[in-house]
C-alpha cells in the first residue's frame, strides 16, 4: 500500500499519513458503487431527501472540526474554512430539496399520453482539486446523490483529509454503504480510472484546463458525460464613475482571497485611464493592509500557498523585467508564503496577463472606454467570472452582457451562491454546477409514449 504525507502549508509539518487507493482498489470501489446505485435509485424520494438532510446536519454538528482540519491541511484561514464547511452543509440541504422536485413533463400528443422522466445515470466520479476541497466536492456529490446516483470521489492528493471525514459523516448520517465512497489517490491512477472505467457514467472535474482537456478527450471514448470547471483569468473592471474608494478597498479581496488560489480570482484589474493613477494610490494601502499570517488566527485574511512546488510556480511568473508596483506583507519562518503582489504589465502578451497564476499576483492595466474594457476583458481563452464597478446601471448591464464569462458581479466580487448557477464560458469549463437545475446534470431524460387507443 502506498501512502502520502499530508503537509501543513503554514508550518511544513506532517499532519497525517494517508493510504492511497490503487487501480485495483478503484475498480473494486466502482463495482461496489454500481451495485449500491441500483438500490439507491429505488429509495423513495422523501427518504433520499431525509438522509441528505441528516448528512447536512452531521456536517453542521462537526463544522468546527472540519474547519480546523482544513486549516491544518490546506492552510486556509479559519474564517474561510468555517464558510467552506458551512457551504458543504448548505449545498446538501439545498440538494435535499431536489429528489421530490425532479419533475418531468406531460407533453400533448395525439392518441395517447407522453411523459418524461429524469433518471439517474448510475455511478458518478467526482475529481476535486486542492483549492476548495469541501465546497467543490459537495457541488458534485450532493446533487448527484439527490438525483439517485452513487458517487466515487477523488480528493486532491495534497488535501484529502476533509473529504475522508465527509465520507465517514455520510455513513454515520445513514447514507447506505458504498453510495458515497471517498478514494484518496493519484490523479493519474484513481482519476484516470474514473475516465476509463465503463461503470462510471459521468465525470465531474474541477482543476486545470490542461488536465480538463485530457479528461474530456478520454471521456469521448465512451461518450461519457462530463462537467468541467477549469481555470480563469477574470477581469475586475473599474470605470471612472465608480465609487473608487470602495473599488480599491475591495479589489485585494477579489483576487487575494485563499491566497489567489481561486479559479474566480479577479487577477486582471482594468482601470479607466482617467482614474488609473488615483486608483493605484488607493490600492497600495489596501494591499498593504491585507493581514497575511497564521491561518488559524481569527483576524488573518490570507494564508500560505498550498505547497513549495506551487510557490515556486507562482514566483516563476515574475521575471526580472516584470514591473512590480508594490507588494503586501508576508511572515518569516516556515510555511509556503508569498506576498500579495501588484504588477504593471508591459504588453498584452505578458504571461502575467495571459496565464492563470493561481497565486496572490494581480496585474493592473488601463483602458480607454466601455468598448475597450470589454475587448480587453474578453482577450483571453478563459471566461469564468469578473466584476464591474460603475454607478451607471445601464453601463453595468451592457458590460455584464458584453463580457464572455459565466459569473459576473456588479459593485461586488461575489461569485458563488449554492442556489445560483456556476460555471465557465470558453476554456473555463463545460456545463454548470449549483443553482436550481443542479440535479438535472446528473440525470438522463427519458421520454415515454403510452397509447390510449
Ligand atoms: P490538476 O492537475 O488539474 O488537478 C486537479 C485534480 O485532478 C486533482 O485531484 C488531481 O489529482 C486530478 N488529476 C490530475 N491529473 C489527472 C489525470 N490525468 N486524470 C484524472 N485526474 C487527474 O491541478 P493541479 O496540478 O493541482 O494545479 C495546477 C494548476 O491548475 C493550478 O496552478 C491552477 O492554475 C489550476 N487549478 C485550477 C483549479 C480550479 O478551481 N479551476 C483548481 C486547482 C488548480 P492529484 O491531486 O493526484 O494530482
Ligand atoms: Mg496537476
Query: In the predicted model, what is the mean pLDDT of residues 65-83?
Result: 98
Distance spanning both ends of the chain, measured CA to CA: 63
Q: Please tell me if the CB atom of residue 432 comes closer than 6 angstroms to any atom of ligand 1.
A: no
User: Closest ligand 1 atom, CA of 155?
Assistant: 9
For ligand 1, atom 15: residue with the closest CA: 187
CA of 66 to the centre of ligand 2 (A): 25
Residue identifier of the C-alpha nearest atom 6 of ligand 1: 129
Residue 183 predicted with pLDDT over 80: yes
Nearest CA to ligand 1 atom 7: 187
Which listed ligand is nearest to 157 at the C-alpha? 1
- Decide if pLDDT at 185 tops 90: yes
Ligand 1 lined by 132 (C-beta under 6 Å): no
8 A C-beta contact, residue 362 and residue 344: no
Q: Is 216 in the pocket of ligand 1 (CB under 6 A)?
A: no
Q: What pLDDT was estimated at residue 415?
A: 81
CA-nearest residue for atom 25, ligand 1, is 208
Nearest CA to ligand 1 atom 22: 187
Torsion angle of the four alpha carbons 340, 343, 349, 352, in this order, in degrees rounded to the nearest 10: -10
DSSP state of 154: E
- If you average pLDDT over residues 71-93, what whole number do you get? 98
Predicted pLDDT of residue 299? 97
Ligand 1 contact, 156 CB (< 6 A) = yes
142 C-alpha to center of ligand 2: Å? 25
With the most atoms of ligand 1 within 8 angstroms of its CB, the residue from 126, 154, 187, 305 to mutate is 187
**How many CB atoms lie under 10 A from the CB of residue 164?**
17
CA dist 411 and 436 (Å) reads 24
Q: Is 208 in the pocket of ligand 1 (CB under 6 A)?
A: yes
Say how many residues make up the chain. 453
Nearest ligand 1 atom, CA 210: 3
CA torsion, ordered 228, 233, 239, 244, to nearest 10 deg: 100
Average of per-residue pLDDT values in the chain: 98
Give residues with Cβ within 8 angstroms of 114, minimum separation 6: 106, 107, 108, 447, 448, 449, 450
What atom in ligand 1 is closest to the CA of residue 194?
20
Instruction: Show which residues are catalytic.
Output: 229, 263
The pLDDT-based confidence of 39 (bands split at 50, 70, 90) is very high
The reply to whether ligand 1 has any atom less than 6 angstroms from the CB of 3 is: no
In this prediction, residue 1 carries a pLDDT of 77
* Residue matched to cell numbers 476554456: 427
Compute the distance from residue 372 Cα to the ligand 1 centre, in Å: 33
- Dihedral sign for Cα atoms in the order 414, 417, 421, 423: positive
Ligand 1 centroid to Cα of residue 264, in Å, is 16
393 Cα–ligand 1 center, Å: 38
CB 314 within 8 Å of CB 275: no
Q: Which atom of ligand 1 is nearest to the CA of 157?
A: 46
**What is the maximum alpha-carbon separation in the chain?**
81
Q: Which three cell numbers stand for residue 343?
A: 504588477
Tell me the backbone φ, ψ of residue 408, rounded to 5 degrees.
Answer: -115, 150
Digit-coded pLDDT (tens) for 237-264? 999 999 999 999 999 999 999 999 999 9
221 Cα: distance to centroid of ligand 1 (angstroms): 21
Going by alpha carbons, the residue nearest to atom 44 of ligand 1 is 207
If residue 332 lies in a helix (H) or strand (E), which one and from where to where? none
Per-residue HEC secondary structure of 26-91 comes to HHHHHHHHHHHHHHHCCCCHHHHHHHHHHHHHHHHHCHHHHHHHHHHHHCCCHHHHHHHHHHHHHH
Is 186 close to ligand 1, i.e. is its CB under 6 Å away?
A: yes
Interatomic CA distance for residues 316 and 142, integer angstroms: 37
Ligand 2 centroid to residue 266 C-alpha, Å: 22
123, pLDDT greater than 80: yes
Rounded Cα gap, residues 206 and 104, in angstroms: 29
pLDDT, average across residues 4-12: 98
Question: What is the pLDDT confidence band of residue 308, given thresholds at 50, 70 and 90?
Answer: very high
Place of cell 476548495: 132
CA–CA separation, 258 and 318 (whole Å): 20
Q: From ligand 1's centre to the CA of 49, what distance in Å?
A: 32
Burial 407-429 (b: 16+ CB within 10 A, else e): bbbbeebebbebeeebbbbbbbb
Enumerate domains of the chain plus CATH numbers. Answer: 3-230+428-451 (3.40.605.10), 235-417 (3.40.309.10)
Please name the residue whose Cα sits nearest to atom 12 of ligand 1: 187
Residue carrying C-alpha cell 433520499: 48
Rounded distance, CA 274 to CA 296, Å?
41
Amino acid at each position: 500500500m502506498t501512502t502520502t504525507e499530508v503537509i501543513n502549508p503554514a508550518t511544513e509539518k506532517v499532519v497525517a499519513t494517508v493510504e492511497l487507493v490503487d487501480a485495483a482498489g478503484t475498480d473494486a470501489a466502482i463495482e461496489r458503487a454500481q451495485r449500491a446505485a441500483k438500490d439507491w435509485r429505488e429509495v423513495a424520494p422523501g427518504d433520499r431527501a431525509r438522509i441528505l438532510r441528516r448528512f447536512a446536519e452531521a456536517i453542521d454538528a462537526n463544522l468546527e472540526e472540519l474547519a480546523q482540519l482544513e486549516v491544518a491541511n490546506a492552510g486556509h484561514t479559519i474564517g474561510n474554512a468555517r464558510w467552506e464547511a458551512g457551504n458543504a452543509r448548505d449545498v446538501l440541504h439545498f440538494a435535499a430539496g431536489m429528489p421530490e422536485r425532479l419533475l418531468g413533463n406531460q407533453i400533448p400528443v395525439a392518441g395517447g399520453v407522453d411523459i418524461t422522466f429524469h433518471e439517474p445515470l448510475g455511478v458518478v466520479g467526482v475529481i476535486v482539486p486542492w483549492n476548495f476541497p469541501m465546497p467543490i466536492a459537495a457541488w458534485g456529490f450532493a446533487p448527484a446523490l439527490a438525483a439517485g446516483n452513487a458517487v466515487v470521489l477523488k480528493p486532491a492528493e495534497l488535501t484529502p483529509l476533509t473529504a475522508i471525514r465527509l465520507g465517514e459523516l455520510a455513513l454515520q448520517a445513514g447514507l447506505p454503504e458504498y453510495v458515497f465512497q471517498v478514494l484518496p489517490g493519484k490523479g493519474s491512477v484513481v482519476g484516470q480510472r474514473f475516465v476509463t472505467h465503463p461503470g462510471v457514467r459521468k465525470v465531474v472535474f474541477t482543476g486545470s484546463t490542461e488536465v480538463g482537456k485530457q479528461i474530456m478527450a478520454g471521456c469521448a471514448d465512451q461518450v461519457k458525460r462530463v462537467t468541467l470547471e477549469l481555470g480563469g483569468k477574470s477581469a475586475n473592471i473599474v470605470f471612472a464613475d465608480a465609487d473608487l474608494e470602495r473599488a480599491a478597498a475591495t479589489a485585494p479581496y477579489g483576487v487575494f482571497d485563499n491566497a489567489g488560489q481561486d479559479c474566480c480570482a479577479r487577477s486582471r484589474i482594468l482601470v479607466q485611464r482617467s482614474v488609473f493613477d488615483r486608483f493605484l494610490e488607493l490600492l497600495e494601502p489596501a494591499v498593504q493592509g491585507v493581514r497575511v499570517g497564521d491561518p488559524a488566527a481569527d483576524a488573518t485574511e490570507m494564508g500560505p500557498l498550498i505547497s513549495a512546488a506551487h510557490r515556486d510556480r507562482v514566483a516563476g511568473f515574475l521575471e526580472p523585467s516584470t514591473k512590480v508596483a508594490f507588494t503586501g506583507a508576508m511572515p518569516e519562518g516556515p510555511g509556503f508564503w508569498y506576498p500579495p503582489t501588484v504588477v504593471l504589465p508591459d504588453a498584452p502578451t505578458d504571461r502575467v496577463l495571459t496565464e492563470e497564476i493561481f497565486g496572490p499576483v494581480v496585474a493592473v492595466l488601463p483602458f480607454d472606454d466601455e468598448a475597450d474594457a470589454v475587448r480587453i476583458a474578453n482577450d483571453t481563452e478563459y471566461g469564468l467570472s469578473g466584476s464591474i464597478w460603475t454607478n451607471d446601471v445601464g453601463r453595468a448591464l451592457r458590460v455584464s452582457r458584453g463580457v464572455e464569462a459565466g459569473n459576473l458581479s456588479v459593485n461586488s466580487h461575489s461569485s458563488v451562491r449554492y442556489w445560483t448557477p456556476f460555471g465557465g464560458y470558453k476554456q473555463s469549463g463545460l456545463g454548470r454546477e449549483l443553482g436550481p437545475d443542479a440535479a438535472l446534470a446528473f440525470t438522463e431524460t427519458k421520454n415515454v409514449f403510452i397509447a390510449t387507443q
